[in-house]
Structure 1
C-alpha cells in the first residue's frame, strides 16, 4: 500500500545543493494527495524561476514513480508566497511585485546596466514575469540597450505610466520621457520623478522587478532604498582597484537601509584569447579574493571582457554567460530568502573583542591583533596590497569605542585611535581567534603576555 510516509522517504533523497538539506526537511513538499495509483503533490521553492525547479521535478517523478503501486506522479512546482510588501505610497504600482532586486555600482562604467538588462532579458526569455526599471535619471541606459529611442510614455486616466514591453520584459526609464535630451534637474525634481518611476507605473503582477540603480550612494539611491522594500541587491564592479575601492560605500549604504547584499558580480574579470583559449586576468586574478578578505562578501559571478557584453544585448541571447549568471543570482536570492540571519552578539572591553553566535560558537581576538589586521585603504596600499600600517604606531591601550555589524558577514569598529574605515569579516575574526594572540596583544609592556 502506498503511504505518505513511503513517498516522503523517497523524496528525502532529493538534496538541495544550496542548503545541503533534503527538500522534505526544508518544508518544500506540500499538499500531497494519494488517489489509488496516482500521487500528486506540490514542491514549493523559495523563489520563482529557480533553475533547480526542473531538476527537482524530474527527480521527484522518477523516485516516486519507482514505488510499487504508483502509476502516475503529478508534481506541481511553485514558489513561496512573499509577505505583503511595505510601501510608502498608496495604490503603488509595486503592490503585485513578488521580489525586487537592485543592481548597483558605486562607480559608473563598470557594466551595471548591462548586467541588469541581461538578468531581466534572460528571465523574460524563460517565461518569467519580469520588469526592468532604469532608475538613473541623469544617464538612462535601458533605451539604448533595448534599442527603444522613440520618446513618449503612455499613461492611464489616473496618470500612471504604462511600461513599454520588449522581449518579454516590461521596461520603464526616464529616457522614454526625455528622449536623447539631457536631464537638467535639481534635487527635489529628481526625487519627485524617482518616486513616479517607482510607484506610478502600472507594473501589474511580476515575479521580479530588477532596478538598475544609478551609480553612487547619493540622494536618489537613498530615496529608492527608503521608499521601497528592496529584497536584495547585487553590486557590480570590475577587478580594477579604483572600482574595488568604492564597493565599501555600496555595502554600507545598503546596510544602513537594511537591504541584504547577495554578493558581487565582477565584470571584465578576464578575457579569453581567441588563439589559445586561455583566460588572461589583465587587472589581476585576486579581485574576488580581495573583496572577500576586505568585506566578507562573496564574488558570485565573474564576467569576461567580450564584445557581447557591450552595446546591444542580442549577442547574449541564450548565451552561457547570461544563463549561468542569472542562475547564480536567482539561487543566491533563494538561499537568502530562507536563510536565518544569525548575527553574533558582540562584547568588547579594554583588551579584546568577542563574538558569540546563537549556536554557541565564540571567537575572541585581541584589540591589537584586530587593529593590525585592518585592510582598508589607510592601512593597505590599494594598488599593491602592501601594508601601510606600522604595527609600532598602534597604541598599547588600543580599544574599540563602538562596534557595528555590517550585514551578516562583518563588523566595523570605531577605534580609540580615531580609525573607523575598516571592515572585519567574520572569517578574518575566526582566523585571528585561532592564533597565539587570541587573549591579548602578546606584549609584555601592556601585560598581555
Structure 2
C-alpha cells in the first residue's frame, strides 16, 4: 500500500489519532516513526518520548534480531500475533498486534495496531487455573461428574463428562461424551430407562433434584448399578441443564441384596424362612380372595427325624433337611413357594391350585422323598397335610387346618398324604 494523496494522508492522520486502539508506525530499522496518544498512554510514555525508541526497547518477548527479521518480512498482507511489551515503569503487559507494510514517499513503513489484552489474558489464565482445579477435584471424586442438557427443541446431549466416566462406563471418553445422547443413554438397561426418564421429566416440570438408581451395561459386559444425583437449572434459551454426579453402587447393592436374602432365607436349607413364608401366605391369600382364584397349602414333616439326629448326629440331620428341600424344589413350579416352617416341618404354597391338584402335587413330593436313597441312612419318608383356602378364612385358620391334616397323616401310619375339605375338618 502506498499513501500519495493529501486526502488520504489527512484521513489516515485523523484515524490514527482518534482511534481508541494503540497505533504505531515503524521504520524497517525498528525505530518508531510515529505513535498515537492511545499507544503512548498504554505504555506510559508521551508521544514525543516514543519517537526516540525502537521496537526492541518495548517488546519483552522477542530479541532484537528476531524483531529485525520480522520487520523485513512484513508485507501488505500483514501479520497478526500476540506478544508482551514493557511499559516505561518496567511492568509487562500482554498485547495483540496486527501489522501491515506500506510505502510513503518511497520509504517502507510498518503500520501496527496494538491492543492491551492483559486483562483478557489474566481472565483466561484464571479460567485455565479454575479448569485445572475442577479437573483435579473431579479426578478425585469417586464416579463421574456430568452435565445433561435438553434443548428447547427437545434435543438431548451431554455437554460434559469428567474422566471418571471412563472407569464407570468402561468405554473411552470420546465414545461416551459428545453432542448426541447415545451411547451414554443406550448403556442403561431397557427395563430401567422408563424410570430414569420419568425422574428427568418430573425434575424438568418441578425443578426438583434428580435422585435415581439404575443399571447399566459396562464396557466389559457386566451389569453395574449406578446412583445418579443432579440439580436442574433453566437456561436463557429455554433449555434445561442438569449438573450432577454418577456413582457406581454395585457393591452396595450386592451387599443390600445379600442382607435382604439373609432376612428372608433359611440359613440351613437356602429356602424361604418362616417369617417370609408367613408374609407370602398373607399376600397370596389376599390375591386369591381378590381374584376369586384357588389357593392350596401343603405342610410336610419328616418321619422319625429325631431318631436320625440321635443315631447319626445333627450334621447328618442337617444334610437330610438340605437334601429334602432340594428334592422338593426340583418338583415345584416357578410360581410355587417353598419354605421351612420350623425344625423338620416345611410348607408349600400353591397359587391357582385347587385341593385335588394340590393332593397330587403332595403325593408326587412324598414319592420323590421316599424313593431317594440317603448316604448311610438309606430311605426316609415324610407325612403330608393338604388344604385349600376356604372363603375369607384367616391365615391362622388355614395353617391350623393343614397342621391338623399333617397330624392325621402321622396318626394313620406316616408316609402318606391327608387332604380333607374344610367342611370335613373340625
Query: Please, what TM-score do these two structures have when normalized by structure 2?
Result: 0.20
Highest Rg: 1 or 2? 2
Query: Please, what TM-score do these two structures have when normalized by structure 1?
Result: 0.20
Q: Which of the pair is proportionally richer in helix?
A: 2
- Point out which structure has higher relative CO (alpha carbons under 8 A, 6+ apart): 1
